[in-house]
Structure 1
Amino acid sequence: MATALAENTIATLKVLRQSEQGAFLDGGTGNTNDDILLHRDQQTTPVIIGDEVTVFLYKDPKGRMTASMRLPAMSVGQIGYVEVINRTSFGCFVEVGTERGIFMPHAEMRGRPQVGEKVWVRLYEDKSGRLAVSMDVDDAMRRAAKPAEAAVLGSEIRGAIYNITAEGAFFITPERWLAFIHRSEMTRSLKVGEMVKARVTYKREDGRLNASMRPVKEAALVSDGDTLLTYLGQRNGRMPYSDKSASDIIKAKFGFSKAAFKRAIGHLMKDGLVYQEEGWTFLTDKGKEAFLKANDGNNAKGHHEEECER
């Protein structure tokens, strides 16, 4: 008995007959009711009776098997940066160049990509032979990557994130360089799939890069110091954080590392703008003047909240 053709698969089928709608392909069962329509609109080149054509099979809105000569833009095992075009309770569909999207089950997702977002995926065949995609692309990325020999320390690179772990985020650049941003080098939360810009901080022996979203230290001292000065000025010149505070609290509250916090605080103390006492940091009179000058008095009233995190 002939095996029925399945949707979301690629098959090479023979053209049996023509109609006003298009060409009918051999469904493989010997029953003309199972022949598959290749609509004229789904033909990338004209076909004639007797041709064997490679098509993507899918079901139309009425549940009928339909064929298209528009094949996926990538082969099984390859990766692509594609758009999410639909979400369901079971997963989502992504655009890969076919007449309809290719399914990605929840188990193959990293995070919860939304419609309109782009993500890195790998095309694969599931146990039933149907095409599907997965965001588990690490091995494929390593095979596709090139050594970052031309990368320059301190230069800016950009790319799309393909994985985020407890340690940080991994992304690939248009040059096919792989780069890693440690969590301490992030200036904000990141999502799998988003484009990111970062500065090259280290070229590894394996050809990959370490990168940072933070500016160079000299600039960071100013920007981080401004952040702390503004925070203090908006809270009556005091905050329950100091260089004795836990690093995870500092990261959650200000978005930068404990080391960066200590450098910025040290810079402010050296300039006579703040002082520390019993685990708290306070603005000096000079610091209050600096805050008012920077904000033109708009935030002079401050906030009357006393936070208790340490």
Structure 2
Amino acid sequence: MNLGDFNELEVAREVDFGMYLTSDDGDLLLPRKYIAPGTRVGDVVRVFVYRDSEDRLIATNLEPFVLVGQFATLTVRDVSTTGAFLDWGLEKDLLLPYRNQRRNLRPGERVTIFAYLDETSDRIVASAKWEWFLSDQPFAGKAGDPAELFVAEETDLGYKVIVDGTHQGILYHNEVFKPLRLGDVHSGFIKQVRPDGKLDLSLQRQGYDEALAASETLLTFLRQAPNGLLPLGDKSEPDDIYRRLGMSKKVFKKALGTLYKQGLVQLAPEHTQLLNAAE
């Protein structure tokens, strides 16, 4: 049985307050409120297993926000002399001990953590020192590769990001043109693998690929616009461009240039006209 993860366990017997499930670690309770209608003795059920407030193994059909071995951004519910207690979607909050914190936390704050099984206490706990749990192996990718980006922390330079669940990278503030929230997962790209092994990242493709992808996006918007007229041009404000298209002005101008060279658009300072829009 995997503590802190989902398990498929057989219903051994039923009691007034729930059902006991059998496992290699002994029987554990699935409280009645978590039992699906029609469940009978002998059925195999999929449940998440953790410890209750009295350290007893217990099962639930609720979906926690994080499993053991995963990163997540969770909200602080309470703080005590033991540490911070995080909302992870279950009745019993997830403990973030003081020794695993970077700084003192307050209720309502969001914090990025790694969930793991403490070998001494056999309890599921969190650590805000999430970098400790990243891979120590060289990153296998290269510049230009797509990647899954988990926004872990904001700094003066930009956003610290967990790349593909294994390595750390950064999205610089001056290259991010949309609001990012801790815990968000975005598709992005590797800009550079630095000598120290960390990664410079981008939410958009670089160079020719970036312009090509942006031009396809812009062409789609033009085709959907009334009469093929989009009220954005070379002199438009960057905020207006981002709000409508989700791209920076720099990328927008590259896309305009690509479509203009293909003879698909007519350009004006404040708008762009799709040629042959009625065809």
TM-score computed with the length of structure 1 as normaliser: 0.49
Q: Does 1:143 align with 2:136?
A: no
| TM-superposition CA deviations, 1:244-276 (whole Å, max 9, x none) | 223233222211111111111112222333233
Alpha carbons of structure 1 residues 240 and 167: separation in structure 2 relative to 1, 3 Å: farther
**SS across alignment from 2:255:** helix
State the distance in 1 between where 2:57 and 2:211 align.
Answer: 58
Number of the residue aligned with 1:248: 239
Counterparts of residues 70-219 of structure 1 (less than 5 Å): 80-81=70-71, 93-94=87-88, 100-102=92-94, 106-109=107-110, 120-121=113-114, 137=128, 140-145=129-134, 146=136, 148-164=138-154, 168-173=158-163, 176-182=166-172, 190-219=180-209
Q: Is the 8 A contact 1:178 1:208 kept in 2?
A: yes
Matched-pair identity in %: 20
Alpha-carbon offset, residue 222 of structure 1: 3.4
State the distance in 1 between where 2:242 and 2:228 align.
Answer: 20
Number of the residue aligned with 1:68: 56
Q: Does 1:259 align with 2:250?
A: yes
Alpha carbons of structure 1 residues 265 and 178: separation in structure 2 relative to 1, 3 Å: same
State the distance in 2 between where 1:203 and 1:161 align.
Answer: 18
**SS across alignment from 2:251:** helix
Number of the residue aligned with 2:213: 223
Specify the structure having the higher radius of gyration (Cα).
1
State the distance in 2 between where 1:180 and 1:83 align.
Answer: 17
Counterparts of residues 49-68 of structure 1 (less than 5 Å): 58=53, 66-68=54-56
Alpha carbons of structure 1 residues 148 and 212: separation in structure 2 relative to 1, 3 Å: farther
Number of the residue aligned with 2:275: 288
**SS across alignment from 1:106:** coil
Q: Is the 8 A contact 1:169 1:181 kept in 2?
A: yes
State the distance in 1 between where 2:211 and 2:178 align.
Answer: 17
Aligned AA for 1:163? E
**SS across alignment from 2:271:** strand
| TM-superposition CA deviations, 1:219-264 (whole Å, max 9, x none) | 4333322333343441334333222223233222211111111111
Q: Does 1:235 align with 2:236?
A: no
**SS across alignment from 2:227:** coil
Alpha-carbon offset, residue 144 of structure 1: 3.5
Unaligned ranges ≥5, structure 1: 1-38, 47-55, 59-65, 71-77, 111-118, 124-130, 294-310
Q: Is the 8 A contact 2:139 2:167 kept in 1?
A: no
Count of residue correspondences: 207
Alpha-carbon offset, residue 103 of structure 1: 6.1
State the distance in 2 between where 1:106 and 1:243 align.
Answer: 46
State the distance in 1 between where 2:77 and 2:131 align.
Answer: 31
**SS across alignment from 1:157:** strand
Higher strand residue share: 2
**SS across alignment from 1:242:** coil
State the distance in 2 between where 1:187 and 1:202 align.
Answer: 19
Unaligned ranges ≥5, structure 2: 1-19, 28-50, 59-67, 80-84, 97-105, 117-123
**SS across alignment from 1:142:** helix
Alpha carbons of structure 1 residues 214 and 82: separation in structure 2 relative to 1, 3 Å: closer
- The more displaced of 257-266 and 267-276 is 267-276
State the distance in 1 between where 2:133 and 2:166 align.
Answer: 7
**SS across alignment from 2:234:** coil
| TM-superposition CA deviations, 1:17-69 (whole Å, max 9, x none) | xxxxxxxxxxxxxxxxxxxxxx999x9469xxxxxxxxx772xxxxxxx3426
State the distance in 1 between where 2:229 and 2:173 align.
Answer: 28
State the distance in 1 between where 2:138 and 2:271 align.
Answer: 43
Aligned AA for 1:276? L
State the distance in 1 between where 2:240 and 2:157 align.
Answer: 17
